[in-house]
Amino acid sequence: MTVLKDPRATGTPAPAAPAPESRYRPARSGLDPDRSKKWLPRAMPVLKSHRLAFVSALILSFAGLVLQLQIPQVLNHAITNSIVGHSVPLHVYVWWSLGLGLAGGVTGYLSRLFLFRTAYDIEFDLRTIIYDHLTGMDFAFYDRVQSGQLISRANSDIRSVQMYITFAPMILVQCASAVVAFGYMLWLNVPLAFVAMATMPFVYLVSARMRKTMFPVSWIIQARLADVATVVDENVNGVRVVKSFAAEQQQLTLLARAARKVQWGYVKDTDLRARWTPALQNLPQLGLALVLLVGGWMAIGNPREVGTLVAFFFYLFMLQAPFMMLGMIIMMGQRAAASAERIYEILDEVPTVVDRPGAVDLVDCRGDLRFRGVDFSYGAEGSPPVLAGFDLHLRPGETVAMVGRTGSGKSTVARLVTRFYDVTAGAVEVDGHDVRDLTLESLRANVGIVLDEPFLFSASVRDNIAYGRPDAPLADVVAAARAAGADGFIGELDAGYDTVVGERGYTLSGGQRQRIAIARTLLVNPPVLILDDATSAIDVQVEQQIHEALRVLMEGRTTLIVAHRLSTISLADRVVLLDDGRVVADGTHLELLASTPLYAEVLAQVDADEAPTGALGGGAA
């Protein structure tokens, strides 16, 4: 991390505070990156990382089922030896039944405890994996992906996968009890055992057919749920636009259309389950009828077979639950497979802006910033260039204002410094290092940027200002707020610095949000500062107060200002004029006025645009 000087003594940036340690553990394991594998093998590393608790849950569950399977044997012996033969007291078998029931209850409790603990740990890991991946994705990814789709995949899709990979093995263990039960049946009466299991091949055929028909519908349901989430997310975030155009009914119609598509999917899913589940559940009942027919005929001639027949009935009743859950596991599996594919679509996206192998930390940053022949365009190759042959040098401690028409590439220049995007050609250098050869964390720790659209979190004012330094003392937070001209209006809020702002900070005016955003950057105290039209929503009087503080804070700090107003330009040591993605003039304000007609035209256009709205000011409070 960069080591800087104390600004209160020299006017230069101070030592950057160390990043606070996370209070939460990372995921124990990631997903298998091999895209050629099926979805379940790719998720196995996460499950294996919790294998101790998970295997314990399965073993305890199986042990509990085995204990339950002993009860029909106890009943068989009780009927044969106590009721028919009168050779053993009945209370002996009563105590055996109570003991088996108690032991089964204890093992069942422990197995569920371990199972649910594993389930929630896996869910935590999956959410951590996808969030960690999303934080590493570049801005180009977010430019083309809908936030509602991401929210859906990070919530309902993860829950579907988690439910299957944890609960499906438990259900399979319960289905394994059928094998044990069949072993007991064979021990009691071989012909009757085969009669009881005669319907099982048909159960397998029905389940296979059910699985094949349900997968496409499950995928459609998850995709359409994401569409609904997208509509809701956009309406919540854009509620002011919706209301300003009285478009509530239009948006309700859009949501209803998306909801009807989800409804169709759920109805289709229910229809498929209604077709196949009854057969899956009732085929074992047919086996019960066959056992009653054959076993009853056998018991008529031999009363001692009554106990065997009762035991068979209990075993068949106990087998019904696993076969009923077999339909559930098929449904869960198809939904989980569809959800996993949607999750992997995101996780298999490879970020383009990453640390290069051998990337180094930016240490003792002086703030020498240079653009060498930079070309850049948004979108795919062949898109129109935003910057073409862009050259600019900011010496350490220098303040440069960048001026140009709308669309000339000013904000793009600011975003290339912090590697929000990578250049198409050329290089951006800090202290002689290509930014692509520096670690992203150290680069962004040394370059502070205030964007033209300030974003605040739904948290307290103090937490928003201290976002980059969560452990910053209140005195430092207040000092940054004063420097940004925000302390005055913060003191007038109901709870001062503890006031919780609304979603995106919309309980504050545009100018107030922008001043808090400036304070947030100033608290981090970076050696390189970028102000991307950061005072556009602040009226002239408040802007002057901020400028007085910025003049002091910019001493010894390299500052790039995307500027429109003449008052902002006055902060700069020199001014560069952009046109068609390149620097066409470089000098002081007076020099450009005298030598470059385009510069005067740009300033005149800005004055004309602000004249009708100047009284509104955008936010002094």
Q: How buried is residue 55: exposed, middle or buried, by Cβ count under 10 Å (0-12/13-18/19+)? A: middle
pLDDT of residue 468: 85
| Domain membership flag for residue 386 | no
| Domain membership flag for residue 237 | yes
* pLDDT tens readout for residues 437-449: 999 889 988 988 8
* pLDDT tens readout for residues 163-202: 888 888 887 787 777 777 777 777 777 777 777 777 777 7
Q: Both 433 and 325 in a single domain?
A: no
Residue 495 clears pLDDT 80, i.e. is over it: yes
Q: Which residues contact 604 (CB under 8 A, 6 or more apart)?
A: none
Q: Both 64 and 168 in a single domain?
A: yes
| Domain membership flag for residue 451 | yes
- Mean pLDDT computed over 265-277: 81
Q: Which of 15-24, 375-384, 402-411 has the lowest mean pLDDT?
A: 15-24
Examine the fold and report which residue of 332, 347, 362 is the final residue of a domain before the chain moves on. 347
| Domain membership flag for residue 616 | no
Q: Both 402 and 340 in a single domain?
A: no
User: Which CA distances in Å does 440 have to 1, 268, 434, 444?
Assistant: 11, 48, 12, 6
Domain of residue 251, CATH code: 1.20.1560.10
Of the two residues 414 and 6, the one the predictor is more confident about is 414
φ and ψ of 405, to 5 deg: -65, 165
Q: Both 309 and 409 in a single domain?
A: no
* pLDDT tens readout for residues 227-268: 777 777 777 666 666 766 677 787 788 878 888 888 888 888
| Domain membership flag for residue 373 | no
Query: How many percent of the chain have pLDDT more than 70?
Result: 83
Q: Both 86 and 222 in a single domain?
A: yes
Q: Both 173 and 265 in a single domain?
A: yes
pLDDT of residue 494: 87
Residue 378 clears pLDDT 80, i.e. is over it: yes
| Domain membership flag for residue 391 | no
The domain of 572 spans: 396-610
* Highest mean pLDDT, choosing among 224-238, 403-417, 497-511, 536-550: 403-417
Examine the fold and report which residue of 313, 328, 347 is the final residue of a domain before the chain moves on. 347
CA atoms within 13 A on the CB side of 262: 15
Q: Both 486 and 567 in a single domain?
A: yes
Collapse the DSSP code of 560 into the 3-class scheme (helix H, G, I; strand E, B; otherwise coil) and give the result: strand
| Domain membership flag for residue 144 | yes
For the chain, what's the residue count?
Answer: 621
Residue 550 clears pLDDT 70, i.e. is over it: no
pLDDT of residue 575: 92
- Mean pLDDT computed over 569-591: 88
Q: Both 331 and 402 in a single domain?
A: no
Tell me how many domains the chain contains: 2
Q: Both 343 and 403 in a single domain?
A: no
Q: Both 170 and 308 in a single domain?
A: yes
Task: Tell me the two tokens of residue 563.
Answer: 């500027």
* pLDDT tens readout for residues 391-422: 999 999 898 999 988 878 888 888 899 898 89
Q: Both 336 and 432 in a single domain?
A: no
Domain of residue 503, CATH code: 3.40.50.300
Q: Which residues contact 165 (CB under 8 A, 6 or more apart)?
A: 40, 43, 46, 47, 122, 336
Examine the fold and report which residue of 309, 324, 347 is the final residue of a domain before the chain moves on. 347
φ and ψ of 608, to 5 deg: -65, -40
* pLDDT tens readout for residues 114-156: 988 898 898 888 888 888 888 888 888 887 777 777 777 777 7
pLDDT of residue 465: 92
| Domain membership flag for residue 26 | no
b/e code 105-140 from CB counts within 10 Å (16+ = b)? eebbebbeebbeebbebbbbbbbbbbeebbeebbeb
* Highest mean pLDDT, choosing among 22-31, 265-274, 294-303, 465-474: 465-474
Q: Both 314 and 409 in a single domain?
A: no
